[in-house]
Homo-oligomer: A and B are copies of this chain.
């Protein structure tokens, strides 16, 4: 009984303040405790450490709490326990299905364990990422899930000063101190290029947009494969800073024609570009794959349904989210994860467009 005059008779009524409920009008743990006739810590334990409270008392506490509309105050809990039960998740884009599915995997792993995700969208910008890291650090997250490894110097400082574990998604890191879950983008690029070569295409183009590290890694794979075959030609590579879209893919077909490109196949760094290209070819009467082969990356839902269906490489993004979250859970519980670098591989999908 911290401040009030207490029950003894002559309590000066003046400063007697037994808070019935918080400033916000909501019931507090103390209110529930008083109603049940126990101390606050017992209520706390009934929620957080059930095994420490006698079963029927626990039942009574939970019932009373429910009937009073009591909801624990997360801020107070976080402050007192130094655990926010929150994980900050930073992804580059939300309009790109790839990351949305990653998010789904993260959620499915985290929510049942009582953790909440704080989602930030970096728009592929390291500066924006830095800003978001600063903001989300205010929440004292118990863990961080980042996409890629392209951080600003300041962001690196924040991260290294941070005691909470951080797992990198999508790209794989070689540094043994870092944790990563993903797949080799470079291998993906190589896989597709090798397939196109095997199909007999010799003048293979590459369209890179967004120019994020993953796109560039795919481009590397493409280049290496073609260099090995002695067929690499810088003139068949298009690099655009724009974001990936169906519209841009369609526009690229127009551009290839305008430039009199001699490509017999074009490898687009993302499926939506390739879909746009397919649509535009259909519109212009360009026969795919006879006149021009088209390949994509990521295996988006529509790619199995276009005419012709699209050859692509499927990335295990849901699994990446799930496994990255699982790795983080291990670390947050103080366990060493089975591996600090988890390669989930890729699936090549040959369809009609090549």
Contacts and interface: CB of A to CB of B under 8 A. Distances in A.
Interface in A67-97: 69, 71-79, 82, 84, 94-95, 97
Number of identical protomers? 2
Q: Is chain A's interface secondary structure helix, strand, loop, or mixed overall?
A: helix
Contact of A71 (B77, B117, B137, B272): B137
A138 B74 contact: yes
Contacts of A75: 74-76, 78-79, 84, 139-140
B24 A82 contact: yes
Contact of A79 (B76, B121, B304): B76
Contacts of A103: 94
A331 B75 CA distance: 23
Given A79-B75, A116-B135, A307-B283, A246 B302 contact: yes
Interface string A102-117: 0110010000000011
Interface residues of A, number: 57
Given A74-B140, A118-B116, A140-B74, A246 B95 contact: no
Interface string A203-223: 000000000000000000000
Interface string A221-244: 000000000000000000000000
Contacts of A94: 94, 100, 103-104
Interface in A159-178: 161, 163
A307 to B, nearest CB: 5
A247 B82 contact: no
B140 A305 contact: no
Contacts of A138: 71-74, 77
Interface string A127-143: 00000001101111000
A84 B157 CA distance: 27
Interface stretch (A8-16, A54-62, A274-282, A339-347): A274-282
B95 A101 contact: yes
Interface in A174-198: none
A306 interface: yes
Nearest to A84: B75
A250 B305 contact: yes
A25 interface: yes
Interface of A: 22-26, 69, 71-79, 82, 84, 94-95, 97, 100-101, 103-104, 107, 116-119, 121, 134-135, 137-140, 157-158, 161, 163, 245-247, 250, 272, 275-276, 279-280, 282-283, 301-302, 304-307
9 contacts: A25-B163, A69-B161, A71-B134, A73-B140, A74-B139, A75-B76, A75-B84, A246-B301, A283-B307
